Every structure is written in structure tokens, then in C-alpha cells.
Amino acid sequence: MDKAPKTVIFRGGGFAPKSRRWVGVLVFVLLILFVEWGTRSGWISSLSLPRPSDVLETFIQLYNSGLLFKHLGPSLSRLAVGAIIGASVGISVGILIGLFSYVRSGLVPLVAAIFPIPKIALLPLFIIWFGIGEGSKYALIAFGTFTPTVVATYGAVDNVDRTLIRMGQSFGLSWWSIVRKIVLPGAMPGILSGLRISLAIAIILLVAAEMLGAEYGIGAYILEAGSLYDLERLFAGVVVLSLLGVLISAVIGIAERRLLGWRT
């Protein structure tokens, strides 16, 4: 064995994605530049995609005319009221399903039955029940956020470490204390990641809710632009919804860092 020593080849590493801050922004910028270049040089026809700079111009017009906030105001209030009702009822029902056998046996099949219903299909029904005004819009958004929140919440309650609950019982904590101090904080990671999904669904349903009986609202604006085949305005509206989604996701991210700093 008198050969020259060989370095052992490194074969570990990888499989541990980290967040690289500006890469996400870079992807957006490159994509937009690509479309801009394509539409300017003519190989993307203006019928198939609007020019990003035109969309921006439309957006600026929208902002300057003050119409942006006229549309955004009602939309945000519909989103807020609907999502708050849906999420809070969803979390409460999810916790009850997670804690009580009868509630679980009774409601899990029901939730499974209403989860796959496209809530948009029920809009006429909601209009009959809650009127053409704001009521039906709140109901549609609330109903849409309710089901995913329930499923995420009871899953999260199921995943709370049982040894912690046994510990609580062994120290003689009351039932209510165990729920409040052990089950709820233990389920919080799952509830928050469920909210990410249900709030995104709430934004999707916002457009559906504004299909009927809405003069103002981002959804109404998009639908009107769509029916006139005005792609610049359609995209300006879509961008607003996207930004709203990014914003909500960021807010949940902050909440996670605040509330879940204890996680390893």
C-alpha cells in the first residue's frame, strides 16, 4: 500500500433548502422583463398578453383617479368580515372536533361532505338567504374559509403532544386550563399554516362574491374588465389580488415568528 493518499470524496450536504432573500424578487423581475421584451418585439401578440408597462400605466391611472381605493375599500371589508367569521367559527368547531368524540363523529363526515362543494355554485342560494347586498358576500367568503380552517384545526389538535396533556392532568390542572394553556398553544402551528391556505381561498372567493350585485370592488373591477376584454385593466386588478395575497402571507409569517418562536 504505497500509493499516494486520496482525499475522501465529499458526498453529504444538500436536502436542506434555505431562504435566499432576493431570489424571489429576481424571478418576478426577470419574468416581467421577459414578457415586456416579448410584447415589444412582437412575438407575443397584444391579444394574448398585455404589455407589463401598459398594465403599470393602467394601474397608475387607477390610483390617480382615486378609483383604486374606491374598489379596494369594499373588497377589503368583505374579505376581513368574511374571513374573520369563517376562520373564527372554523377554529372553534375544529377545536370541538379535536376534543369531543360525539362532535367528531357527527361533524367530520359533514365537513368532508361540504369541503369539495365549489362555494361559487352556492352564490345564488346565499343571495336568497342573505340578500343581494353585503350579507351574501360575507357568507360566501366565510363559508369558503370555514372548511379548510376546520380541517387544519382539528388536525393540529390531534397532533398536540399527548404527554403534555397527561402532564397537565397529573398536576391536577382543570379541563379548561389544559385546553387553554396546553391544547391551544400546542395546536397553534397547525392552525396558522391552515390560515395561510384558508385566507388565500378567501381572496379567490372575493372575486366570485363580487360577481353579482357589486358596483365597486376589486373582483367587480376584474370581472368588468374581463367581459370587455380589456386585458390591461384585468391584469391591473389581478396584480392587486396577488399583492394582497403576498401581504397576507407576510402577516402570517410575522405572526408565526412572534407566536412560534419556541419551536426548535
Partner 1 sequence: MDIRLDGIGHSYDDFEVMRDISLDISSGQIVCIVGPSGCGKSTLLRFIGGLERPNSGRVLQLGEPPEGCLNPLTYIFQDFALLPWRSVWGNILLVLEDHGIRRAAAKEIISDVLARTKLSDFAKALPKQLSGGMKQRVAIARALAVNPAVMLMDEPLSALDSQTRELLMDDLVELWSRKPFTAVYVTHNLAEAVRLGHRVVVLSRRPGKIREVVEIEKPLAEREYGDADLDKAQKYLWRLMREEARAADSELLHG
Rounded to whole angstroms, how far apart are CA atoms 135 and 120? 15
Q: Kindly state whether residue 173 participates in binding partner 1, applying the rule CB under 8 A.
A: yes
Cα 20 from chain centroid (whole Å): 22
Region of residue 178 (phi > 0: left; psi between -120 and 50: alpha; otherwise: beta): alpha
The window from 56-64, 171-179, 202-210, 233-241 that contacts partner 1 (CB under 8 A) reads: 171-179
Residues 6+ apart with CB under 8 A from 73: 216
- Binding partner 1 (rule: CB under 8 A), the pick from 91, 156, 182, 187 is 182
End-to-end CA distance of the chain: 47
- Which grid coordinates belong to 12? 453529504
In angstroms, what is the minimal distance from the CB of 59 to partner 1?
A: 43
- The single residue listed with the C-alpha cell 374606491 is 70
- Whether the Cβ atoms of residue 160 and residue 168 lie closer than 8 Å to each other: no
The window from 11-19, 134-142, 164-172, 233-241 that contacts partner 1 (CB under 8 A) reads: 164-172
The window from 98-106, 107-115, 159-167, 234-242 that contacts partner 1 (CB under 8 A) reads: 159-167
The window from 10-18, 101-109, 167-175, 239-247 that contacts partner 1 (CB under 8 A) reads: 167-175
x/- mask, partner 1, residues 234-263, rule CB under 8 A, reads ---------------------------xxx
- Specify the DSSP class assigned to residue 260: T
- Binding partner 1 (rule: CB under 8 A), the pick from 6, 170, 227, 229 is 170
CA-CA-CA-CA torsion sign (226, 230, 234, 237) = negative
Q: Which parts of 184-223 interact with partner 1 (CB under 8 A)?
A: 185-186
In angstroms, what is the minimal distance from the CB of 180 to partner 1?
A: 10
* Interface positions with partner 1 (CB under 8 A): 163-164, 166-167, 169-174, 177, 181-182, 185-186, 261-264
